[in-house]
Amino acid sequence: MSSQNIAVKGMYCIATYICLILLGTLVDIEAMPWISSVARWASLPMLILFFYLNTAIDTKFEKQIFFGLILFTICSLLEMAKPVLGSYLVYILIALMIIAYFSYARALIAITSISSTLFFQKKWLAGAIFFVGLIGVYFIFMASHFSLTNPILVPLMCLGLTSLFLLMAGINLINQIDGSILTGIWVSITFLLVYNCYLGLKINPNISIFEVPLAIAYYLGQLVFVWTAVRASLHFKKYDHSSISDVLKKKA
């Protein structure tokens, strides 16, 4: 089930993406601050191009990831509209991110065989993880000191629940797909959750959510997730099975 011999196209997109996120998140260019902004706006379109070059986008798995990528890209581009949207921008961005994360989770569910999944066989474990996740979301909000009347509280709670749903979708892939692909998915989800937790602690209507110190975790999470999805899709293309789930199944 190795995908090591499958040719990956558009590696220049990955190289460009890495350069852009370094410029956009780690390099402080005081003389020309617009360079960091342009780098952030141009980064995710490179991942879209990379994904498009390597996939036919004709399976539910690929369609859901592509849709999520489009929404995340819109989020980054909408930052250009901050002078017009003002404090409303952060609410729009969170709403789009919730839909995009949900789309990623649906992509992961699309490559699982429900009756043989970990959570289907051990429903108590799913309940336990969900309960622990809710406690984690609660403590993040407690640490952020948001008042119950703060209008940003509800969107952030929805983002927290969606992040938990994505995490559970990733855990549920245990014994469902090849180990290297599973590892890539877990690593990417970890990066994205770290970023989301930071947002839960520090966000306010006046900040740029892609300029926070841990934004690098968000961009790395996107990179690993898309790279892993491409490897999975290429594996599907190579073996030409009728179902992507059949291809990604881990052989005994």
Q: Give the up-direction half-sphere exposure of residue 166: CA atoms within 13 A in the CB hemisphere.
A: 28
Give domain status of residue 179, yes or no. Answer: yes
Q: Is 26 exposed, middle or buried (0-12, 13-18, 19+ CB in 10 A)?
A: exposed
Domain around 97: 11-248
Q: How many domains does the chain have?
A: 1
The yes-or-no verdict on residue 135 having pLDDT over 60 is yes
Give domain status of residue 51, yes or no. Answer: yes
Give domain status of residue 6, yes or no. Answer: no
Give domain status of residue 148, yes or no. Answer: yes
Tens-place pLDDT, residues 166-189: 999 999 988 878 788 899 999 999
Average pLDDT over residues 120-148: 82
Tens-place pLDDT, residues 59-78: 889 999 999 999 999 998 98
Give domain status of residue 155, yes or no. Answer: yes
Exposure string over 145-163, b if 16+ CB within 10 A, otherwise e: ebeeeeebeebbbebbbbb
Average pLDDT over residues 86-96: 88
Give domain status of residue 171, yes or no. Answer: yes
229 with 65: CB under 8 angstroms? Answer: yes
Q: What is the pTM of this model?
A: 0.87
The yes-or-no verdict on residue 142 having pLDDT over 70 is yes
